[in-house]
Structure formats: structure tokens, C-alpha cells
A and B are shown apart, each in its own frame.
Chain A
Amino acid sequence: DAKTTQPPSMDCAEGRAANLPCNHSTISGNEYVYWYRQIHSQGPQYIIHGLKNNETNEMASLIITEDRKSSTLILPHATLRDTAVYYCIVRVYNQGGKLIFGQGTELSVKP
């Protein structure tokens, strides 16, 4: 299973862009990169996913490098409610496409 590496914690000023990096150097050609976030005592919230092209939705943008070995999640205008643990996941194909959550990045958005 492809492993992801994320910094354990990051800070961001409210209103600024939050850029969360993720390394996934062993990713296979047909494996998707997913991003979720989890606020304490709640279920993980789906943010965005992609294969090779950059993706954008109402929550965030996902930038995947051309070699697919790393990606960056961008929250364009971070708010205090974006404070959470963010997980970068390479989705496997066995076991129904289970999600393997690592330790994630704890993002603190400060006023």
C-alpha cells in the first residue's frame, strides 16, 4: 500500500491560504489521492480527490505534481472553522477501496 508522509502540524493566519503538503512517492499509476479532514470527535469529512490533473471544488484545490509523487491541498482563505487534522490518503483497490488514514497534519488557523 502506498504510504503518505505529511508534516505533523502547521499554522495559518485567518484569511490567508493554507498549503498542506503530502508526499506519496510509491503511488501507482491508477491510484487516486484523497484528502479528508477530521474535527475532534466528528467523522472525517471528504474534501477533494484527484488522479493526475489538478482539481478544484468549493472547498479546496488539489495540486498534483507531474510525477505524482507529491501533492498539495490548498484552502484559499482559511477560517477558524478550518482548524482540524487533515489526512492525505492514497486509495487502495483491495478490500473495497478502503481508506488508510495516517497521522495527518494538524492545522491550526489563528486569528
Chain B
Amino acid sequence: DGGITQSPKYLFRKEGQNVTLSCEQNLNHDAMYWYRQDPGQGLRLIYYSQIVNDFQKGDIAEGYSVSREKKESFPLTVTSAQKNPTAFYLCASSIWAEGNQPQHFGDGTRLSIL
């Protein structure tokens, strides 16, 4: 089946540790996105990529990094500089980054601090 796969489903981070969240899509979509969701709140954009080898900061990029070396992959690294990383992380993709193309989401990764 075509879709977006996020892994792992649950992740624990120790103090001072970087962790990487995986996002893979087989939909042949050009655009990919990372959002963060805190309890009882809406989604906030971390980073987005409109095409391979290009990405842009979203509203809350500090403490995060991404890469887009392949069309189907958009991993997110939560660095030790991110002081409040506990959240639900969602990856999305769309055919391209235009207003009339829906974004489709993965099932998320829940990150917690040990």
C-alpha cells in the first residue's frame, strides 16, 4: 500500500542526546513536512521541503535539523539544543507544496525524555 511510514512509534531520549525520527513515503510526493503536536494543542510546523536537496525552516525550527537527500525520505533530528522535546511528531507529504494539494500524514512518533 502507498503511504507514509514513521518510525519508531515511541522514542525515549536521554539528556544531551540527539535522536533521529524516520519518515519515508512511497507516494512519489515532492513536498514533505514535519509538525509537532503538544497535548491539547494544534500542530506547529518545524521544517518543510518542497523538493529534494532543499528544505526550509518552519515556525519552530530551533533545536531541530533535517535532510532531504532522497525524494522518499525526510528524517528529523531532535538535537540536545531542543530543551522541551517531549511531544508527538508528525510527518506529512503532498504532491507539491500548493494550496490545492492535500497533505497526508503518517501515524506519528511519540518522543519522551528519560
**Chain A interface (Cβ < 8 Å from any Cβ of B):** 30-32, 34, 41-46, 49, 51, 87, 91-93, 95-104
Q: How far is the CB of A21 from chain B (nearest CB, A)?
A: 18
- Bin the interface of chain B by size: 20 to 34
Q: Which of B31, B94, B108 is A43 in contact with, Cβ under 8 Å?
A: B108
A93 cross-chain contacts in B, Cβ below 8 A: 99
- Asked whether, in the complex, the Cβ of B104 is within 8 Å of the Cβ of A97, the reply is no
- Asked whether, in the complex, the Cβ of A96 is within 8 Å of the Cβ of B105, the reply is no
Instruction: Supply 23 A–B pairs (Cβ within 8 Å), ascending by A.
Output: A31-B99, A32-B100, A43-B92, A43-B105, A44-B43, A44-B105, A46-B104, A49-B100, A49-B102, A87-B42, A93-B99, A95-B56, A96-B31, A96-B50, A96-B56, A97-B31, A97-B94, A97-B97, A97-B101, A98-B58, A99-B35, A99-B43, A100-B43
B105 cross-chain contacts in A, Cβ below 8 A: 43-46
Most chain B CB atoms below 10 A, which of A30, A44, A91, A101 = A44
Q: How far is the CB of B51 from chain A (nearest CB, A)?
A: 10
Q: How far is the CB of B82 from chain A (nearest CB, A)?
A: 19
Counting CB contacts under 8 A, is B103 at the interface? Answer: yes
State the CA gap A100–B33 with chains docked (Å).
13
Counting CB contacts under 8 A, is B15 at the interface? Answer: no
Q: How far is the CB of B96 from chain A (nearest CB, A)?
A: 9
- Asked whether, in the complex, the Cβ of B90 is within 8 Å of the Cβ of A44, the reply is yes
- Asked whether, in the complex, the Cβ of B45 is within 8 Å of the Cβ of A95, the reply is yes
Q: How far is the CB of B97 from chain A (nearest CB, A)?
A: 4
Counting CB contacts under 8 A, is B75 at the interface? Answer: no
Q: How far is the CB of A71 from chain B (nearest CB, A)?
A: 15
Closest partner residue, chain B, to A42 (CB atom): B107
Most chain A CB atoms below 10 A, which of B43, B92, B97 = B43
